[in-house]
């Protein structure tokens, strides 16, 4: 724990104790231990050795606030990091194609306005991230990089793998991709 994180936990715990009459469960020393464990777990999930106030303690307090007061402070989609939704991570889930795909020309430039090209690439990249993530989960967290997304553009697959590695969600070692 950093000193700032310790102070933040202490002040937030004192705040929880003062709000104790708003719900039925008492706030005890066990609640304080829960905050420390949740913050530590979040730091580990970020692959960090230190618990930081602005990231880890804030998330831990959001979880506890939801559990105790049913408050959803900052766990909205716009505040979450760029990760696929859990719903999209279900094995076997397939993306639907639009019914208008029948009318699409074989030349992609004819179908997409120039300003939409960037959004289309972002969507393609996000879908590829989700697909790679699902393939890794289905294969117990490890897969050969050459076996990921067969039939897809290898340059795109490798770019998405690099993005996931930069986000510290996966690791690539000796031709294999591992979930972190």
pLDDT value at residue 40? 92
Say how far apart CA 72 and CA 63 lie, in whole Å: 8
Q: What pTM did the predictor assign?
A: 0.41
Which residue, among 165, 18, 55, has the nearest Cα to 157 in the 3D structure?
Answer: 165
113-120: average pLDDT: 58
Task: Convert the pLDDT of each residue in 52-75 to its tens digit.
Answer: 888 898 898 888 878 777 766 654
pLDDT value at residue 67? 79
Q: Please, what sign has the CA dihedral across residues 101, 105, 107, 111?
A: negative
pLDDT value at residue 41? 93
Cβ distance 38 to 59 under 8 Å? Answer: yes
| Residue 100 pLDDT grade (very low, low, confident, very high; cuts 50, 70, 90) | very low
Task: Convert the pLDDT of each residue in 143-162 to its tens digit.
Answer: 898 888 888 888 888 999 99
| Residue 24 pLDDT grade (very low, low, confident, very high; cuts 50, 70, 90) | low
Tokens (6 digits) for 114: 């120039």
């Amino acid at each position: 724990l950093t000193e700032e994180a310790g102070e933040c936990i202490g002040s937030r715990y004192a705040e929880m104790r003062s709000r104790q009459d708003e719900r039925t469960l008492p706030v005890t020393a066990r609640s304080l231990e829960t905050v420390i464990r949740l913050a530590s777990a979040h730091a580990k999930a970020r692959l960090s050795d230190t618990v930081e106030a602005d990231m880890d303690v804030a998330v831990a307090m959001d979880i506890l606030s939801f559990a105790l007061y049913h408050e959803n402070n900052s766990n909205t989609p716009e505040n979450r990091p760029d990760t696929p939704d859990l719903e999209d991570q279900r094995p076997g889930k397939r993306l639907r194609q639009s019914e208008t795909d029948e009318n699409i020309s074989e030349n992609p430039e004819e179908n997409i306005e120039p300003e939409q090209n960037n959004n289309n690439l972002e969507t393609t990249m996000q879908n590829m991230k989700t697909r790679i993530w699902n393939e890794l989960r289905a294969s117990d967290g490890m897969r050969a990089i050459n076996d990921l997304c067969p039939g897809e553009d290898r340059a795109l697959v490798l770019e998405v793998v690099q993005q996931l590695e930069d986000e510290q969600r996966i690791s690539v070692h000796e031709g294999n991709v591992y979930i972190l």
